[in-house]
Amino acid sequence: MPHEQITTWKRDPSKPGSLGRLKGSKYRMIDAHLHVINFIQETPGGEALLYYMDQANIDKSVIFGLPVSKLWAEYDREPPDYYLANDSPCYYYGYTDVILAEMVRALSSSQQDRLYPLMCGFNPVDRYAVRHVERLYAQYPDVWSGIGEMLLRHDDLTAFTYGENARANHRALYPIYEFAGQYDLPVLMHQNVTSVTKSDHPVYLHELEEAVREFPRTRFIFAHCGMSRRVNVPFYYQMVDRLLAQYPNLCVDYSWIVYDVVICLNGKPDPNWVALTEKYSDRICLGSDLVTKFERLGPELQRYDVFLDQLSETARANVCWQTAERIYGGNKGKVKNTQPRMVPEWNKVMA
């Protein structure tokens, strides 16, 4: 989940510009990672979202709120509008899911079909968190397509957020992973692979691996491959390659700065990442990771074109569309309409 004000691309006066970028990627796609509510829990709304999706050649979007809200502290003269705006803390804000659900339900049925909303507004270090998930599934059974983006290890945001540090292997999350596994729901998680001050090896990767290993029947999506601003480690594509090889229940999204920092540095696609994407295209999807600034959708997704051009038609179709559709599509109403997957009774197995 990005810093709202630090964009993945910015003006470069040395290069020619074009209004054509506002039209988005030349490849029709699903934006698999989009925050439609910002850090002060405001949203431009569903109608604006769909308008700018149309402008940017985006057919569908995987959307979610933000599980934390930035506090306007008594000592701050200026109201903050994003989490790094000043030194005040953030706190978990469950109502983000209600804002999202109501936004979606205000749209027509055909418009709702273009959106895959995820639920994220629980405190990931609270062992009651699963009750929030169950409650929201009961309240809005036909809205949700999965769970996420959970904000776990997240450098400055972790430091700003009240309470214990959230992490992928926190025991409070295990009932949620179990719930997701029972109903075959995807779980999108932001978990930095390392700390800002430790860039020689991924100190927090083991936390993700423990969760993914402990819940092999739960589908996890590793947001922007665990990268954040100022968070990087050597051997990145080898690390992602190993994770995808080792954990069949793990997918990744290319969104935000992982694309600009390692996949396509200085606008040149890295052949290793092209090869990795070809190999695992059915486990990789693309997203903007914008926080509400829908006007930016076009140029944000257009920047992927230079990389997508290098892929085979099959791989490109997967990362632009098929993978996201397979992960997030068909999940609405699952909890209401299906029986949870249960462990078969021992005596019946042995009979």
Q: Is 299 in the site for another protein (CB under 8 A)?
A: yes
Structural tokens at position 119 = 């639920």
Nearer to another protein, 292 or 323 (CB): 292
Q: Is 173 exposed, middle or buried (0-12, 13-18, 19+ CB in 10 A)?
A: buried
Backbone dihedral region for residue 219 (phi beyond 0: left; psi -120 to 50: alpha; all else: beta): beta
Among 6, 28, 42, 47, binds another protein (CB under 8 A): 47
Nearer to another protein, 124 or 299 (CB): 299
Distance CA 303, CA 27 (A): 11
CB of 173 to another protein, least distance (A): 36
Q: Is 19 in the site for another protein (CB under 8 A)?
A: yes
Given the DSSP bridges, would you call strands 186-190 and 219-222 parallel, antiparallel or unpaired? parallel
Distance CA 9, CA 40 (A): 24
CB of 66 to another protein, least distance (A): 19
Nearer to another protein, 10 or 268 (CB): 10
| 50-65 as b/e: b if 16+ CB within 10 A | bebbeebbbebbbbbb
Nearer to another protein, 112 or 272 (CB): 112
Q: What is the DSSP string of 293-347?
A: -GGGHHHHHHTTHHHHTTS-HHHHHIIIIIHHHHHHTT-TTHHHHSPPP-PPPHH
**Helix, strand or coil for residue 100?**
helix
Nearer to another protein, 76 or 214 (CB): 76
User: Is residue 36 within 8 Å of residue 64, measured between CB atoms?
Assistant: yes
Distance CA 287, CA 228 (A): 15
> What interhelical angle do 129-139 and 95-105 show, nearest 10?
20
Q: Is 312 in the site for another protein (CB under 8 A)?
A: no
Distance CA 157, CA 66 (A): 12
User: Is residue 63 within 8 Å of residue 115, measured between CB atoms?
Assistant: yes
Q: Is 74 in the site for another protein (CB under 8 A)?
A: no
CB of 35 to another protein, least distance (A): 16
Q: Among 46-54, 90-98, 216-224, 238-246, which window interacts with another protein (CB under 8 A)?
A: 46-54
Among 40, 41, 51, 184, binds another protein (CB under 8 A): 51
Nearer to another protein, 11 or 171 (CB): 11
Distance CA 100, CA 104 (A): 6
Considering only residues 77 through 136, tell me which ones interact with another protein, judged by CB under 8 A.
78
CB of 334 to another protein, least distance (A): 31
Q: Is 39 in the site for another protein (CB under 8 A)?
A: no
Tally the C-alpha atoms within 13 A of residue 81's C-alpha that lie toward its C-beta.
Answer: 8
Q: Of 67, 63, 65, 180, whose CA–CA distance to 116 is shortest?
A: 63
Q: Is 202 in the site for another protein (CB under 8 A)?
A: no
CB of 291 to another protein, least distance (A): 13
Q: Is 344 in the site for another protein (CB under 8 A)?
A: no
CB of 298 to another protein, least distance (A): 8
Q: Is 266 in the site for another protein (CB under 8 A)?
A: no
Among 26, 41, 48, 282, binds another protein (CB under 8 A): 48
Nearer to another protein, 42 or 210 (CB): 42
Count of residues that bind another protein according to CB under 8 A = 25
CB of 10 to another protein, least distance (A): 7
Among 114, 153, 296, 332, binds another protein (CB under 8 A): 296
Q: Is 11 in the site for another protein (CB under 8 A)?
A: yes
Query: In whole angstroms, how large is the CA radius of gyration of the chain?
Result: 19
Binding site for another protein (CB under 8 A): 10-22, 44-45, 47-48, 51-52, 78, 293, 295-296, 298-299
